């Protein structure tokens, strides 16, 4: 076995869109107002997708793409994200997660053919919603191209090991003779230059080509936009909650909350901007002893001609 040999179990290490709690909700319904928990968990889920669809975690074989981590560091991060999803309280339904992810993929502008390569059809019995491959993976950090054979095959050498590699040269990194990603297929017999017959381990070059890398990067870019959008929605939700709290406590003639409410109206934080109401509450806050409100009104007066 050469250096960098790995084999991942589908169920042990798969980046899954799987619910770990009983199905309670279906996510964000068209007429529902999202809760803070749902927005927060959807954003975390998108962050998981951003990492999961990174080209570094995928391989290509036979025209199909497969999710396959290549290092212990990647595997540990995936396990950490899965554990974090166990704490969800709002976004717990598997089908809702699947539909959410599928819509994000469609929104990224991918051709439907690419979408089917990256996410499997929905099935209530299938807990693996992205394609995986249960075959041994071999990583060659640095190697030598010994011989180019017919039909796109080649002989590669890493140290004392020689590999028969099919479909060699398809991957974007192959030209640099580094970071070669191989999937073990069995054995192959070939003839040496001297005419002798030799049997060695056979592999498929499973590195991504440039088009596949670009497709995954496009998905990641779309997911980053969604994460930013959810972040803005979450900030807006929290601002609105704070505004409602300020308004409730200001009604009790609390000078600090009157000042906060005035600031909300003047800045349009958690509520539409309303300068008249903001100044009205600022005056109330100053009257009831808010030093911040008094300072604001003094500065405002000083700026007037």
pLDDT (tens digit per residue) in 156-199: 999 999 999 999 999 998 888 999 999 999 998 887 777 788 88
CB neighbour class for 59 (10 Å; exposed up to 12, middle 13-18, buried from 19): buried
In whole angstroms, what is the distance from residue 65 CA to residue 131 CA? 7
- Report the number of secondary-structure helices (H) and strands (E) in the chain: 9, 9
> Does 208 have pLDDT greater than 70?
yes
Could you tell me the pTM of the whole model?
Answer: 0.80
What band does 15 get if pLDDT is binned at 50, 70 and 90? very low
CATH number of 137-205: 2.40.50
> Does 121 have pLDDT greater than 60?
yes
What band does 4 get if pLDDT is binned at 50, 70 and 90? low
Residue 184: strand, helix, or coil: strand
In whole angstroms, what is the distance from residue 183 CA to residue 201 CA? 11
Average pLDDT over residues 70-80: 94
Strands of 144-148's sheet in order across: 5-6, 137-142, 178-191, 197-205, 161-166, 154-158, 144-148
Higher-confidence residue: 33 or 81?
81
Q: pLDDT tens-digit profile of 254-304?
A: 999 999 999 999 999 999 999 999 999 999 999 999 999 999 999 998 887
Non-local CB neighbours of 118 within 8 Å, separated by 6+ positions: 53, 65, 105, 110, 130, 131, 215, 216, 219
Q: pLDDT tens-digit profile of 240-267?
A: 999 999 999 999 889 999 999 999 999 9
Rounded (10°) CA dihedral 256, 259, 260, 262: 160
Say if CB 277 and CB 285 are below 8 A apart: no
Higher-confidence residue: 21 or 45?
45
Q: pLDDT tens-digit profile of 235-247?
A: 999 999 999 999 9
Residue 126's pLDDT is: 76
Domain ranges for the chain: 6-133+210-233, 137-205, 251-303
Of all residues in the chain, what percent carry a pLDDT higher than 70?
Answer: 89
Q: pLDDT tens-digit profile of 37-60?
A: 999 999 999 999 999 999 999 999
Rounded (10°) CA dihedral 183, 188, 191, 196: 120
Average pLDDT over residues 196-219: 93
Higher-confidence residue: 305 or 93?
93
């Amino acid at each position: 076995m050469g250096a960098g040999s790995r084999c991942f179990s589908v169920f042990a290490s798969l980046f899954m869109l799987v619910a770990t709690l009983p199905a309670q909700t279906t996510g964000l319904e068209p007429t529902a107002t999202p809760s803070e928990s749902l927005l927060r968990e959807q954003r975390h889920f998108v962050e998981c997708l951003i990492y999961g669809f990174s080209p570094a975690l995928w391989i290509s074989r036979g025209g199909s793409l497969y999710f396959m981590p290549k290092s212990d560091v990647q595997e540990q991060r995936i396990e950490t994200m899965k554990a974090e999803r166990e704490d969800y309280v709002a976004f717990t339904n598997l089908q809702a997660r699947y539909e959410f992810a599928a819509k994000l993929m469609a929104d990224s502008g991918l051709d439907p053919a690419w979408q089917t390569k990256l996410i499997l059809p929905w099935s209530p019995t299938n807990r693996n919603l992205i394609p995986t491959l249960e075959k041994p993976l071999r990583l060659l950090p640095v190697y030598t191209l010994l011989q180019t054979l017919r039909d796109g095959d080649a002989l590669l050498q890493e140290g004392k090991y020689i590999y028969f590699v099919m479909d060699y040269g398809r991957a974007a990194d192959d030209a640099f003779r580094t970071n070669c990603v191989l999937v073990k297929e069995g054995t192959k017999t070939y003839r040496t230059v001297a005419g002798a017959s030799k049997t060695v381990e056979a592999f498929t070059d499973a590195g991504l080509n440039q088009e596949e890398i670009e497709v995954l990067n496009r998905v990641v870019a779309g997911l980053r936009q969604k994460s930013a959008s959810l972040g803005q929605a979450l900030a807006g939700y929290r601002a609105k909650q704070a505004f409602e709290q300020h308004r409730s406590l200001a009604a009790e003639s609390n000078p600090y909350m009157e000042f906060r409410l005035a600031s909300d109206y003047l800045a349009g934080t958690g509520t539409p901007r309303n300068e008249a109401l903001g100044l009205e509450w600022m005056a109330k806050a100053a009257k009831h002893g808010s030093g911040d409100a008094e300072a604001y009104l003094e500065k405002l007066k000083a700026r007037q001609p």
